[in-house]
Amino acid sequence: MKTLFDKLWEDHLILTRADGASLLWVDRHYVHEGSHHGFRTLAARGMEVAEPGLTVGVADHYVPTRGPVATPDIARMVQTLADNTAAHGIRLFGLGHAGQGIVHVMGPEQGLTLPGMLVVCGDSHTATHGALGAYGFGIGATEVAHVLATQTTWQRKPARMRITFTGQAGPGVGAKDMALAWIARLGADGARGHAVEYAGPAVRALSVAGRLTLCNLSIEGGARTGLVAPDQTTFDWLRGRTFAPADFDAACADWASLASDPDAAFDREVTLDMAEVAPIVTWGTSPEDALPITATIPDPSRVTDPAQASRIAAALDYMGLTAGRPLDSVAVDQVFIGSCTNARIEDLRAAAAVLAGRQAKVPGMVSPGSALVKAQAEAEGLDRIFTAAGLDWVGSGCSMCVGMNGDVVAPQSRCASSTNRNFRGRQGPGARTHLMSPAMVAAAAVTGHLTDVRPLLEGRI
């Protein structure tokens, strides 16, 4: 009996060395502006890209979302990607392309990522692609060069872990809350060394967008990847995508076998009851620093582990917060809706449901995950809801999530954000980030502080 991950691993295994490392075939390799090191290595060795048709270039991390490119250095990064992909005959979704967007948004929406694939990218959040039943994981600069040159990668097989969500999500509770809930319970290293498969009725009830969010955050709990077995929801979502297989029904029949066998054994099992999952926000400097919005900020003096108490105290100092304070009393300076975690059309609809007819009390911006998402949102009038509320509607890209493209949070400013990381300086030097769902970000926008979105959704969902 095999798990879904076992099946994906075996389908791509070429050989295993005596030391346990395995050589795997790569079906899809995404490269972005930060992949220039890999191309430079190939050039230095006089090598060509082995399978340019299996590699896709995406401009996302450094692209501007409003106005011109921020600096000459950033412009050079974007141009270098265009030069490298052109030189090797690689398809590029660059600036001005109708399908441009964040790699972990545009890849799935184009049908470039499909069930059963092994997908890599020089970006840790490549686990996102596992939502379609693919094995997706991030690789380093040296590995990028190896994949470009050979279309293979050396890996050690992770252990298998299953996280099962029982019950049904309550109003205002979604995939972001589910992800932060398990990371808060197990810790930022709780799934280290594991490939995590998500299961249970609450996972099956998620849209593909929700599953992408769930798998995206797997890395924040230490997992090597996140997976959801493909089902009819997956197939319906992929049908008609630009790069979907020509014989789609036959492909679906093959993909239907991509599920863990009924008696498959996992190295670790974790179960969460959705009745215990509420809208969640982070308070510290790690995604594990997460609590229901109804909670109070933890007190390090009540923590028995000295190292953990010290970490909490340092996080509170950086965040400018005091122990025991209700989370919903914390004022924010600005908001951001975007990122590879939460910038799909469903995310924008959720935020718009809160913002419609209301005015934001703090400034903020909304960056759709791709040009296609942007066009669809505008066709639905979502952009007008955001701008009428007082938020900026900008272009697609990684934007304020990474703070390397001109979109940053000012030092000591507090941002309610739909992104994936609240590390020190993640959104800019000294920036203070609170992670939450897009709907919760919208709630913070209209109240000016961290807020339980549920009362604001009454009569709207």
Ordered domains of the chain (ranges, CATH): 4-269 (3.30.499.10), 281-457 (3.30.499.10)
pLDDT score at 33 = 93
**Could you give the CA distance from residue 49 to residue 39 in angstroms, rounded to a whole number?**
9
Beta bridge partners of 155: 22
pLDDT score at 421 = 95
How far lies 44's CA from each of 48, 88, 138, 309, 421, in Å?
A: 11, 15, 24, 49, 35
The single-letter code of the amino acid at 197 is E
Q: Are strands 159-166 and 194-199 parallel, antiparallel or unpaired?
A: parallel
Q: Tokens 């030097």 appear where? A: 429
**Could you give the CA distance from residue 98 to residue 116 in angstroms, rounded to a whole number?**
27
pLDDT at 383 over 80: yes
**Greatest distance between any 2 Cα atoms in the chain:** 64
Q: 428 with 409: CB under 8 angstroms?
A: yes
Least confident piece of the model among 66-70, 144-148, 337-341, 391-395: 66-70
How far lies 166's CA from each of 154, 204, 225, 261, 453, in Å?
A: 36, 10, 21, 19, 23
**Could you give the CA distance from residue 82 to residue 107 in angstroms, rounded to a whole number?**
18
**Could you give the CA distance from residue 9 to residue 20 in angstroms, rounded to a whole number?**
14
Return the DSSP state at 321. Answer: -
Mean pLDDT of the chain: 96
Reduce the DSSP state of residue 317 to 3 states and report it. helix
% the chain with pLDDT above 70: 100
- Taken as a whole, the chain contains a residue count of 461
Structure tokens at 299: 């007190």
The single-letter code of the amino acid at 11 is D
Q: 439 with 172: CB under 8 angstroms?
A: yes
Count of helix runs (H) and strand runs (E) in the chain: 16, 19
| CB within 8 Å of 308: residues ≥ 6 apart | none
Rounded CA Rg of the chain: 21
Q: Are strands 55-58 and 28-31 parallel, antiparallel or unpaired?
A: parallel
What digits encode the pLDDT tens for the residues 235-292?
999 999 999 999 999 999 999 999 999 999 999 999 999 999 999 999 999 999 999 9
Beta bridge partners of 56: 30, 91
pLDDT score at 67 = 78
How confident is residue 118, by pLDDT bands cut at 50, 70 and 90? Answer: very high
pLDDT score at 73 = 86
**Could you give the CA distance from residue 283 to residue 318 in angstroms, rounded to a whole number?**
11
pLDDT at 461 over 80: no
pLDDT score at 66 = 86
pLDDT score at 64 = 86
The single-letter code of the amino acid at 192 is R
Q: 226 with 199: CB under 8 angstroms?
A: no
**Could you give the CA distance from residue 134 to residue 154 in angstroms, rounded to a whole number?**
17
How confident is residue 403, by pLDDT bands cut at 50, 70 and 90? Answer: confident
pLDDT score at 249 = 97
